[in-house]
């Protein structure tokens, strides 16, 4: 018998019911109480699986946390603390001054963070004596896969819009791309928060579709890669704002072609993730090697350019786009690691 096993006697009650008591520690860990429901699933001929009902959410999010701000705390320090508490899964976060009152700059930093990066949060109390932030979004209202798909869509749109802004010398569109990076970060922070909650609770892990905590770690790295895709799109947009002029069309056609390829490979890698498909991930990795063909063609193209500044700009764009393909390869490799056991079972 292992440390996780307990022997319990079957008892007979009433005229036709058999009962077995539940371990007290298990009930307390899940925050269950008398009257709560559990789901019992028969697995095979000799095994029963007992889990809390889907509507039971008490264990999913810790109730509240309070952190105090020193008068000399800078905005960046405050925001980092706030994001850390958001990651830990607190339902309510209270921000209070350690002494005196909150400075105007400190209050603005908190409110700006809530607006820009903390998805599903609202300020329910705001004064110089403190700010109370509540997480309103339910864990099942926006699934991890749902948030990831929206994050991926925004990051891909950012790259396409960045190239369009460069082609048209559209400075407004370039600024929109830069602002969209906040949206990517919001989804990233939200997903990280959900992953941390899942790791802390085995029941939540299964509810969110993960077989084990190791898969959460892989998903965390994947999310970071998509976040970086958005960062590279911002880099392309900033190029236009820095140099104030487009790149010639003959070169832009090749850049667009390379970009379309890198995004298509990213799509294939993420599709493998959603399908949990080892073979699809393997195909995506093999395909990413083809990015060198587009890169060599572009580098050959810019040899004829006499403008050193434009050569420098194009080289930077090639680097940004090639990285997207590398992230796709990394994602596909993680999917293979997450799904390799399934292929062994099939064999």
Name the burial class of residue 18, with classes exposed (0-12), middle (13-18) and buried (19+) by CB atoms within 10 angstroms of its CB. Answer: exposed
What whole-number distance in Å separates Cα of residue 333 and Cα of residue 308? 38
Partners of 122 in the beta sheet? 134
* 129/148 same-domain check: no
* 44/126 same-domain check: no
Of 135, 167, 195, which residue sits at a domain end? 135
What's the confidence (pLDDT) of residue 65? 92
Helix, strand, or coil here: 234?
helix
Cβ neighbours of 25 (radius 10 Å)? 9
What's the confidence (pLDDT) of residue 326? 96
* 171/117 same-domain check: no
Asked if 188 and 222 touch (Cβ cutoff 8 Å), the reply is no
What's the confidence (pLDDT) of residue 92? 92
* 160/228 same-domain check: yes
* 214/291 same-domain check: yes
pLDDT digits (tens, 9 = 90+) for 148-175: 999 999 999 999 999 999 999 999 999 9
What's the confidence (pLDDT) of residue 60? 46
Lookup: tokens for 146: 């749902």
Asked if 181 and 158 touch (Cβ cutoff 8 Å), the reply is yes
* 17/68 same-domain check: no
* 230/249 same-domain check: yes
Beta strands at 90-97 and 130-135: parallel, antiparallel or unpaired:
antiparallel
pLDDT digits (tens, 9 = 90+) for 115-137: 988 998 999 999 989 999 998 87
What's the confidence (pLDDT) of residue 138? 63
* 315/269 same-domain check: yes
What's the confidence (pLDDT) of residue 1? 53
pLDDT digits (tens, 9 = 90+) for 64-81: 899 999 999 999 999 999
For residue 155, the surrounding DSSP H or E stretch is: helix 144-168
Residue whose C-alpha is closest to residue 248's, from 322, 309, 330, 327: 309
Q: Assess if residue 57 is contained within a domain.
A: no
* 154/270 same-domain check: yes
Residues 6+ apart with CB under 8 A from 14: none
Conformational region of residue 99, where left means phi above 0, alpha means psi within -120 to 50, and beta covers everything else:
beta
What whole-number distance in Å separates Cα of residue 183 and Cα of residue 171? 20
Cβ neighbours of 2 (radius 10 Å)? 4
Total count of domains within the chain: 3
For residue 10, the surrounding DSSP H or E stretch is: none
Residues 6+ apart with CB under 8 A from 72: none
* 128/20 same-domain check: no
Helix, strand, or coil here: 128?
coil
Using 70 as the pLDDT threshold, list the residues of the chain that sit under it: 1-4, 43, 53-62, 138-140, 203, 343-347
What whole-number distance in Å separates Cα of residue 198 and Cα of residue 209? 10
Q: Assess if residue 2 is contained within a domain.
A: no
Determine the number of helices (DSSP H) and then strands (DSSP E) in the chain.
11, 8
Residues 6+ apart with CB under 8 A from 289: none
What's the confidence (pLDDT) of residue 347? 54
Q: Assess if residue 94 is contained within a domain.
A: yes
* CATH code, domain carrying 79: 3.30.110
Name the burial class of residue 50, with classes exposed (0-12), middle (13-18) and buried (19+) by CB atoms within 10 angstroms of its CB. Answer: exposed
Helix, strand, or coil here: 285?
helix
What's the confidence (pLDDT) of residue 59? 43
What's the confidence (pLDDT) of residue 104? 92
Residue 9 has what DSSP assignment? -
How far from 84 is each of 13, 43, 95, 214, 275, CA to CA, in Å? 49, 39, 13, 21, 31
* CATH code, domain carrying 223: 1.20.58.220
What's the confidence (pLDDT) of residue 140? 63
Domain, as residue range, for 33: 11-52
Strand order in the sheet with 130-135: 62-69, 90-97, 130-135, 121-127
* 115/211 same-domain check: no
C-alpha dihedral sign at 212, 285, 321, 276: negative
Lookup: tokens for 115: 């607006």
What's the confidence (pLDDT) of residue 183? 93
Of 109, 135, 161, which residue sits at a domain end? 135
How far from 134 is each of 66, 90, 131, CA to CA, in Å? 12, 9, 10
| Phi/psi at 159 (5° precision) | -65, -45
């Amino acid at each position: 018998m292992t440390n996780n096993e307990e022997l319990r006697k079957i008892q007979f009650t009433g005229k036709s019911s058999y009962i077995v008591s539940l371990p007290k520690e298990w009930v307390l860990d899940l925050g269950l109480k008398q009257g709560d429901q559990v789901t019992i699933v028969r697995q095979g001929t000799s095994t029963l699986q007992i889990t809390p009902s889907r509507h039971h959410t008490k264990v999913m999010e810790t109730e509240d946390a309070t952190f105090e701000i020193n008068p000399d705390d800078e905005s960046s320090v405050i925001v980092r603390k706030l994001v850390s508490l958001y990651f830990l899964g607190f339902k309510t976060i209270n921000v209070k001054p350690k002494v005196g009152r909150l400075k105007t700059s400190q209050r603005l930093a908190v409110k700006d963070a809530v607006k820009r990066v903390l998805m599903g949060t609202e300020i329910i109390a705001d004064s110089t004596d403190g700010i109370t932030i509540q997480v309103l979004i339910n864990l099942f209202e926006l699934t991890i896969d749902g948030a990831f798909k929206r994050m991926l869509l925004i990051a891909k749109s950012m790259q396409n819009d960045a190239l369009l802004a460069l082609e048209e010398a559209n400075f407004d569109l370039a600024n929109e791309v830069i602002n969209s990076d906040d949206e990517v970060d919001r989804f990233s922070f939200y997903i990280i928060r959900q992953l941390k909650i899942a790791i802390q609770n085995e029941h939540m892990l299964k509810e969110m579709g993960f077989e084990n905590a190791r898969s959460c770690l892989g998903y965390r790295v994947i999310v970071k890669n998509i976040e970086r895709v958005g960062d590279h799109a911002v880099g392309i947009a900033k190029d236009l704002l820095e140099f104030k002029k487009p790149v010639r069309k003959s070169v832009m056609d090749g850049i667009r072609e390379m970009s379309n390829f890198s995004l298509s490979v990213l799509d294939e890698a993420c599709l493998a993730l959603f399908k949990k498909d080892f073979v699809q991930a393997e195909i995506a990795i093999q395909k990413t090697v083809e990015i060198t063909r587009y890169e060599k063609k572009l580098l050959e193209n810019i040899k004829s350019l006499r403008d050193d500044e434009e050569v420098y700009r194009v080289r930077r764009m090639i680097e940004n786009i090639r990285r997207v393909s590398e992230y796709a390869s990394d994602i596909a490799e993680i999917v293979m690691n997450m799904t390799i056991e399934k292929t062994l079972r099939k064999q």
